[in-house]
A and B are shown apart, each in its own frame.
Chain A
Amino acid sequence: MSADESVVLQILVEDKPGVLFRILNHFRRLNLNIDAVTVASLPGVVGKSGITVNLKANSEECSMVQRMLNKSIDVVNVKLVRLSEAIRRELVLAQIKMDQNTGFERLIKNYGARVVSIRGDTAVVELTGEPETINSFINSVLDSGLVSLSRTGLAVLPFEEKVKEFAENIL
C-alpha cells in the first residue's frame, strides 16, 4: 500500500438534487476522510456543476474512488489532481477584535490580507492564499483577537497537460 498523499478530485456532475449525496457516499464507503469539498456552478456550462474534493488518500484508494465515481450516472468526468502539480488557493474570512491584537496592522500587511468591514473595534479580514499560508495566518490570530472565522476549502487549477485521464491513472 502506498503512502497517503493530499489529492484533489475534480468532478463534473449534473446539477440537480441528490448528486452530492451520491458522490460523497462513495468516499464514506471507503472510509475516506475528506478535508474539504466545494461545489460550484461553472460559467457557460448549463446544467452541470463542479465538485472539488480534497482528501488524503493512497493511490489504491484514489483509483478505487475514481472507479466508483466514473461509474456514477451523475458524473460526467473525473480528474485526479496531484497537488504538487496544481495552483492551490483557499479563502478565509476572519473576524478580529483589533484592540486585542496589538500587531493588527502589521499582521494584515505581512499576509497581504484585506480588511473588508469594520464595526466598532472589530474588523472582518479576508485572505486568499495557499492552505499553508491560511493555516499560519489563523495560528497568528488564534490567541489574539480572533472572534470567528470561515474558510472555503481548496480551489485548485491544474496545468492541463499534467492532468491524467482515468484510464492512465489506473493502469
Chain B
Amino acid sequence: MGFWRWKNISPIFSGARGLIEALRIEGVEVVFGIPGGAIMPVYDELLGSPIRHVLARHEQSAAHMADGYARVTGRPGVAMATSGPGATNLVTGVATAYMDSVPMVAITGQVATRLIGTDAFQEIDTVGIFNPITKYQFQPRRPSEVPRAVKAAFYLTATGRTSPVLIDLPKDVQMEKEEMVFPESVDIPGYRAEYEPDPLHVAKAADLLLAADRPVLLGGGGVIKSNACDLLVAVAELLNIPVATTLMGKGCIPENHPLSLGPIGMHGTYHANKLIMESDLVICVGARFSDRSTMNLSEFTKDRKIIHFDADPSEIGKNLKPHHYVVGNIRKSLRILLEILKVKTVKCENTAWRGRWMELKSEYEDAIFGASGEFTSPRIIRKIRDMLPIDAIVTTEVGQHQMWAELHYRVLKPRTFLTSGGLGTMGFGFPAAIGAKTAKPWVPVLDIAGDGSFLMTSDSLATSVQENLPVIVCVFNNSCLGMVAQWQRAFYGGRYSGVWLGSKPDFVNLAKSYGAEGVRVNGMLDFERALREALKSEVTTVIDIPISPEENVLPFVATGSSLNEMIVR
C-alpha cells in the first residue's frame, strides 16, 4: 500500500493509526516486538493492518531480529516495545545495530505527555537513554507530528551512514485523533545524506594505486552496505591485487575467489595479516580501522601508504591519518575508480608481489592452526560451509566459535554472514537468524553458537516455533565461556575465573521442550547426518556439539602486538 493513498487528503487519524499507515507507506512488512501498557493503541491498530507482527520473548531479541532482517535485506528493520522496561530491554539490541551501522527503527511506547517527568509507572527517559546509541530520536508530541517523524526516521536510518533511529510515542499521542498530512519527503537542514565523491580525489587514489608495488585492497562493511561488492571485485580483478577484509567486510569478495585473503585482525587469517604488513599501500574501503582490525596502529601505518574511502566524512582521520582519502558514496566512488583505472591500465601481469601473495596464500589458506583431530571446531565449520548452499545465511554469537567462523567459514555472497562485530553482543546470533529467516524464508539460516551465548537468548526458540521460522543452531558446546577462558590461559596464567558453565541445561531437551528439534552429535559423520536432517526440518533444530574446553582459536594477535606477530600455537 503506497503513499498515493493519502496523497491529496488529510485524514483524521489517531497517532497509532497514523503510525501504522506511515509504516505501510515506508513498505514495512514486519515488526518484531513485545506489547505492553504504553503501546497498546499501536498493537490494536496492528491487528487490522497487513504488517506482520513477530512476537519476541525478550525485547533485546526483538531488536536483534529486526537487525538480522535489515542486514540481509538492506532495508530498515523495525523493533517495537512498550515504555520503561520494554525500552530498556531494547537497548543492547539497538546498540548492537548502532555499532555495526545497521538501519533500524525502534518504536517505543511512552507514558502520556502530561506524565512525562513525573516518574509515572513505567516512565523512563527513553530519548535520553537512546541518544548515544541512535542516529536520532523522535518523540512526537501531537498525533499530527507522527507521519513526519516516521518519514524522517526512515530517511535518516537508511541513508548516509545507516544507523538505528528511535521513535518514542506517548500514549495520549497514540490515542488522540488529529488531521494529518503524510509528507512525501522531509527536509533536515543539518543532515547531508550523501556526499558525491570528487573525481579528482578518486583519480589521485588511482595514481597512488598504480604507483604502488605491493598494494592490498581492504574491504569493510561499508562495501556490503552500499551494495558495491561487484565493483570492489572488478577493481581487484583488473589490477590483479589481493583483497583482505575486516570482520564486517567478510563476504564483500567471495572467499573462494583467488584474490580473496580473508579477514585481517586479532583473529584474521595468517596470510591476510602477514600480507597486509608486507604491503606498501592499503586502499581501505568502507571500514573504520577499528582496533580489533588494525591491532597495533603505529605498526599498521608504518612503511605503507593508506588511502581511505568512506561514505562518512567524520570517519576520515578518526582512527588514523590517511595519506589520501575519498569521501562519498562507496558505490559511486568505486565506479569512478574502476573507470579511471580502465583507461590508465591494461590487466596487470605477474609481478614479484603477485608471486609473494600467491605463495603465502596457497601455503596458509587451508591451515588450521592448533586444531588436532578430526572433529574440531574449524573442521566442523568447514563442513557446515560444504553442506550449505551458497546463498545460505550464517549468523554467529560471540566468542571462540565466532572467531572460528571468521577464520574458517567462507562467505560466498554479501549479506549472508551476520555477526556482531562492533559491540560483540552474546545472544545476537539466534534472534538475528530468526529475523533473517523472516526476510528470506526460502534459504537455510544457521547460527554458529556458543553454549554461553545461546543461553542468553535461547528463549527465542519459542518465537521460532510459534512463528514458523525454522533455523538451525549449532551449539559449539565447550561447557565454558571459551573466549574468556582462552584469554585467562594466555594472559592470566591459566587462572580460570567465572568461566565454567557448570549446571547448564541439556540443549537437546531444552529444544524439545519448546517444540523444536534437538540432537547431540559425536563425530563428523554424526554431525553431517544431523545437519542434513536439520536442513529438511520444518522446525528449528538445535545441534549440540560437545567440544573440548581447552581448544584455542589460532592464530591470535595479542592486544598491542602488530598484525604479523601472530601466536600460532
Binding site for B on A (CB under 8 A): 13-14, 18, 21-22, 25, 29, 47-48, 63-64, 67-68, 70-77, 166-167, 170-171
Contact = CB atoms under 8 A, between A and B. Distances in A.
B310 interface: no
B156 A73 contact: yes
A13 B190 contact: yes
A14 B313 CA distance: 21
Given A47-B189, A73-B191, 4 more contacts: A21-B128, A25-B131, A67-B314, A73-B190
Given A67-B318, A171-B316, A21 B190 contact: no
B211 interface: no
A75 B190 contact: yes
Given A14-B189, A63-B317, A171-B321, A73 B136 contact: yes
17 contacts: A13-B190, A14-B189, A21-B128, A25-B132, A29-B132, A48-B189, A63-B317, A67-B314, A70-B313, A71-B161, A71-B314, A72-B190, A73-B190, A167-B313, A170-B317, A171-B316, A171-B321
B67 interface: no
Contact of B190 (A29, A74, A171): A74
Contact of A21 (B131, B188, B317, B318): B131
A170 B312 contact: no
Contacts of A14: 189-190
B444 to A, nearest CB: 38
Interface string B312-348: 1110111001000100000000000000000000000
A141 B91 CA distance: 52
Contact of A68 (B127, B191, B314): B314
Interface string B153-179: 000100001000000000000000000
B190 A76 contact: yes
A74 B312 CA distance: 16
A14 B189 CA distance: 8
A27 to B, nearest CB: 13
B314 A76 contact: no
B135 interface: yes
Interface string B347-391: 000000000000000000000000000000000000000000000
Interface of B: 127-128, 131-132, 135-137, 156, 161, 188-191, 312-314, 316-318, 321, 325
A98 B325 CA distance: 63
B54 to A, nearest CB: 29
A13 B190 CA distance: 7
B476 to A, nearest CB: 36
Contacts of A72: 190
B191 A170 contact: no
Highest count of chain B CB atoms <10 Å: which of A14, A48, A64, A67: A67
Nearest to A76: B190
A71 B131 CA distance: 13
Contacts of B188: 73
Given A14-B190, A71-B312, A171 B317 contact: yes
A22 B128 CA distance: 9
Contacts of B317: 63, 170-171
Contacts of A73: 135-136, 156, 188, 190-191
A48 B189 CA distance: 10
Contacts of B318: 64, 67
Contacts of A22: 131
A144 to B, nearest CB: 44
A45 to B, nearest CB: 10
Nearest to A68: B314
A171 B131 CA distance: 28
A31 B76 CA distance: 33
A25 B132 CA distance: 8
Highest count of chain B CB atoms <10 Å: which of A64, A73, A167, A171: A73
Contacts of B325: 171
Nearest to B321: A171
